[in-house]
Structure 1
């Protein structure tokens, strides 16, 4: 394509162009100032943003460090929890085994004691029966002895009465005999005393 021909400049056009250039210079200066101001504002904004970014990065680093510390602490706590849980589980199993053994031992002791109690109760029942039997036999023996004693008392009383009656009769007969023989005996004794030279009235 052939180059376009430039239009011819007239005085009017040149003046307008000069006015436009002057106005453009004023606009350009204003734009320049505005641009410098905008740049300064942008630089301040960028500086603030950089400061904010630095603070954010510092906070992020600090947060990461704290997060690592918290993770380590959490891991330690988890390990402690696992250790404590393991220890508790071991203690629980040990206590459960000990308790189970103790329960078995106590059940064995209870069974043995129940057997001993049953034997003791049987012995006690047997001894009670024997004691009741002995008491019954003793009561029967006592009753029999009392009966015999009562019979013996009656017999002895009868014998005593019979004996006393017999003695009374014999004494009565002897007395009668002595009374009958008494004068003769006195005479005989007096005679004997006289022969011996004794006075019978002295005796």
Structure 2
């Protein structure tokens, strides 16, 4: 059963301030999570684009090798030799582009892994902080409950003693009642 609400303006203002602080913390965490998810999505898209470029470079390299073999197999004249040289140059260029794309892909993958590790570390830290706050709050609540219990026990003992004295003043035994 929830506790009864106190009437008055100051109590309403205090709860609004508390809710506002709680919402601001939750909004900040949600904003960080949203930004993290957006960063991961951008990195995935960039990674997919790099993969497509690398695949195209491999395909072109394969086609050029195939054409170069065709030219060498036909054994044509000087024109075929010039075309073979040109194809070798194009193949070398495609292989260089492929190496560059692979290197960029690996670097992007490392950046993505680092970003994910950073976000995981931040998430773990936030989890630890919230856990500490929860434990501190529960410890404080337990302490306050223990103090209230002692206070009520003392007050009830005093009240019982007063009623016993009143009953004895009227000539009544408290155990009989």
Higher relative contact order (CA 8 A, sep 6+): 2
TM value normalised by structure 2: 0.41
> Which structure has the bigger radius of gyration?
1
TM value normalised by structure 1: 0.37
